[in-house]
Each structure stands twice: as C-alpha cells, then as structure tokens.
Amino acid sequence: MPIHEVSLIRPENLKTHEKLVMDGVDVSGHWSTFIESRVVTDYNEKLEEEIAALPGGEHIHRCWQCGSCTNSCTVNAVNPDFNPRYWIYLIRIGMDSELLRDKDIIWQCVSCNKCTYACPRDVFPEGVMKATAHWLELQGHTPKSKSTQFDEEFSAQVLATGKIEEGRIIRGFFARTGQPLMQEWLVEMGKRLARKLPVLMGLRMGLAAVWRPRTRRWGKTSEAIAAYVGEQDAKHRKALGLAGHDQERTHG
C-alpha cells in the first residue's frame, strides 16, 4: 500500500486563470495554474518538546520518517487524511498551524497499535497520537474528547470507591456527554445479557448498581492516587506553559 501524502499546498493558494492567452497561446484553465508563495513565520519551536512532555510522546525525537506507521495504520486505510507520519513531521518542525488543520481527526486513532509494532525506531506512534490529542485539548484547540470524558468518569469512580461498576460507569459517562440512557444498542445488550446471565451473577450486578460496593480501607490509597494524578496534571500544564499548573487536578 502506498503512503498517502498530505499536500502542503492549500487549495486557496492554487491560482488559475479562466481565460489567459500568452504570446498567442491559449493557456486558460489548469494550464495556467500556479502556486501562490507562502511564507511561514509562525513556527512553534517548543512544539516537539511539549508533545514529548505528555504521556506517550516521549520518543517522538527518534522518528526518521520512514512512513511504516502510516502504511500500517487502520484508520489511514479508510481515511487517507489520517497520517501519523505526517503529523510527527509537523510536530518535529514546529508547524502547529498545519497540525491544527487536522485537529478534528487526530483523535480518531483507535489504539490498535499496528503502528507501534511496525515502527523500526520505537517511537510509539500510537502514544504520540494520544499525546497530540491531549495537547490539542489542553491548549483549548479541541473540546474534551469522549475518550477523555470516559477516562475522567472511570478515574472518579475508582478514586471514590476503589472499585468499578460497569453500569454506573456507563450512566456517568452518558451524563457527562449528554447522551440519553436508553440507547437501542444498550437495551439490546441488556436483553441478551439477561437471557444468558446466571441468576446469581445477575442478582449481584443488580445489587452493585443500587448499593455501591467499596474497597475496605480505601481512603489513604485514594488520597495517594489523587495526589499523584494532580502532580502529573500540574507537570503537563507547566510543560505547556499553561496557567493553573500549580492548581489541583481537573479530574471529576
């Protein structure tokens, strides 16, 4: 499969004359196409450093642009604009304005890690995609993704009880993302589960949904985890030069 390149030529910079005759030769239409020159002055020299400071982005400096990540990428196979190699290139040369043109698709990485296994330089492109999506959120270029909101709900419940109860996680996630609880797929899944589930297990799950089980003596562990998460958030914000890096964590 060929590597799909993204053109650095913006469509608005392509100029074509509908009607142009030069030295008696008709060069109308695409024959007269030229590219308006563009001077890039907005390099962000800290971009690579900022991505490297976020979890997953640590090894971005190792990339030698072979393209194996893009070539093996699950999402690229259905959307050629999804191009990890190209985004790593942009990050390394500090072209954040170009990167922002693709800000609405970078989060689409499905974490299949095919790129991770294909990369000859142990860059962990999947991690770089996650770090880049995280960077976009922290810098306010994109709203919190559903994946981030799920992580926050999950973490909040672990911190509160030291346990995970799937039904409660789904309800909390739907509430955070403004989704209705009664969704067709969920109802169908519930019905199928009810048909197959042993009665005792079903009872246990029902009880857990109402009565919230907790890990015994969880308080100190929860405090330690919360403090660590807070430290990490502050560290990431500081690396990005964001205000509030001295404040407590933002997880719900």
Q: Which residues bind ligand SF4 (CB under 6 A)?
A: 63-69, 72-75, 84-85, 88, 109-115, 118-121, 123, 125-126, 129
CB atoms within 10 A of CB 100: 15
Q: How many helical (H) and strand (E) elements, i.e. helices and strands, does the chain have? A: 12, 4
In the complex, what is the shortest distance from the CB of residue 122 to ligand SF4, in angstroms, rounded to a whole number? 8
In the bound complex, what is the minimum distance in angstroms from residue 47's beta carbon to ligand SF4? 16
Please answer whether residues 181 and 171 qualify as being in contact, where contact means their C-beta atoms are separated by less than 8 angstroms. yes
Tell me how crowded residue 252 is: count the other CB atoms within 10 A of its CB.
12
- Report the alpha-carbon distance of residue 27 to residue 20 in Å, rounded: 5
Shortest reach from residue 131's CB to ligand SF4, in Å:
12
End-to-end CA separation in angstroms for the chain: 43
Using the minimum distance from each CB to ligand SF4, give the nearer residue, 67 or 172. 67
Indicate the residue among 50 and 82 with the shorter CB distance to ligand SF4. Answer: 82
Least distance between ligand SF4 and beta carbon 151 (Å): 17
Distance CA 156, CA 168 (A): 11
Least separation in angstroms between CB 51 and ligand SF4:
12
Q: With respect to ligand SF4, which residue has the nearer C-beta, 27 or 66?
A: 66
Q: Which residue has the tokens 């790129």?
A: 115
Judged by beta carbon, residue 4 or residue 114, the one nearer ligand SF4 is 114
- The residue (of 84 and 94) whose beta carbon lies closer to ligand SF4 is 84
Closest CB to ligand SF4 among residues 86, 157: 86
CB of 83 to ligand SF4, least distance (A): 9
Cα dihedral: 236, 242, 248, 252 (round 10): -80
Rg (CA), the chain: 24
